[in-house]
């Protein structure tokens, strides 16, 4: 007995894939900013300064891309 699965429409699957990829970019940008900040702190010896700045910049850049994609998705639905 073979069970048939319901498939998502291709447009919905594409939207889910795009949104989840932007979530992944948000995480990657945050960790890259954090890593760069820790590295610069090690080079300069200025304990948490560059770590905080790198982390905040990574989060801001990640959210910026995520919000831009959400706005594009919103305009596409209207």
Q: What is the DSSP string of 8-67?
A: --HHHHHHHHHHHHHHHHHHHHHHHHHHHHHHHHHHH--TTHHHHHHHHHHHHHHHHHHH
Q: Which residues contact 62 (CB under 8 A, 6 or more apart)?
A: 25, 26, 27, 28, 29, 30
| pLDDT-derived band at 77, boundaries 50, 70, 90 | low
The CA distance from 58 to 26, in Å, is: 8
The CA distance from 45 to 35, in Å, is: 15
pLDDT in tens, 7-51: 767 777 787 887 788 888 888 989 999 999 999 999 998 879 999
Residue 13 is predicted with a pLDDT of 79
* Range of weakest confidence among 3-7, 45-49, 63-67: 3-7
pLDDT in tens, 50-59: 999 999 999 9
Higher pLDDT, 77 or 25: 25
């Amino acid at each position: 007995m073979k069970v048939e699965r319901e498939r998502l429409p291709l447009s919905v699957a594409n939207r889910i894939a795009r949104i989840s990829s932007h979530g992944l970019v948000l995480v990657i940008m945050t960790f890259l900013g954090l890593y760069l900040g820790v590295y610069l702190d090690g080079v300069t010896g200025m304990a948490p300064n560059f770590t905080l700045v790198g982390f905040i910049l990574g989060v801001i850049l990640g959210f910026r891309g995520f919000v831009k994609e959400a706005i594009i998705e919103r305009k596409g639905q209207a």
